Every structure is written in structure tokens, then in C-alpha cells.
Amino acid sequence: MLEHRSQIEVRYAETDMMGVVYHGSYLPWLEVARTALLAAEGIPYRELEARGFFLPVIEVALRYHKPARYADVVTVHAVIREKPALRLRIDYELFRGAEKLASGHTLHVFIDKAGKPVRPPEEFARLIEARFS
């Protein structure tokens, strides 16, 4: 299992007139957590792209449990629970303190510059083998 926690302070621009976070504002937070997870494991997304590997989102699901509000500090817990092959699933839980605000997942596929599915880079495959064997 690979996991990482990122903290986001809710900005005013991410809320509606009532100070509640707009539902679409959560998606960039998942991206922040996802890239931080990869970087923490020694695989910065920028390096993947520089080597010709991309991880587009092919599926996203998010369930909202309680609203986040302006100035809240939200912890995004990102976890890779399943051994990835061509596809990579990342699960997320978002918290304000101990209170769960949302949960969901993103599904990604490794592609090359031409947009064709490819196997993950060798160092990613080695990391996964070490963590999931």
C-alpha cells in the first residue's frame, strides 16, 4: 500500500456565497494529493511527463458527506491499495480534523505522448513490486 496525506486550506474562491465549498473544487485537491503521493514515493509527476509517461484520469467518483467551508484546513488522504498494472486506482478520504467530508477515487491509465496505453516506467514497476509483494 502507498499512502500520503496533504493539507489544503480552503480559499474563498473555492466556495459559494454561503461559504460552502463548491463541489467541483474538490477535484483539484485530489490532484494535489495524487501528485504529492507520487513525489513522496520518489516519482515526481514532472519526471514522468519528461520521460514521456502520462496518467490521465479516466474515471472519477466522489461522495460528499459533509460540507467543507471557507478557511477550513482539509486533509486529503490518498491511498493506492491495489497493485496497479496498466491502470492505477487511487482512493481518497477528505477530513476536517476527525470529521470525514468526502470520499472517492480516481482511475488512471499510463499512456505515451501519442496517447497509447503503455506499461508503467521501470522504476514505478519496481516500487510497486516492492510494496505489494
Report how far residue 4's alpha carbon sits from residue 83's, in angstroms, rounded to the nearest whole number: 16
Question: Which residues are known catalytic residues?
Answer: 16
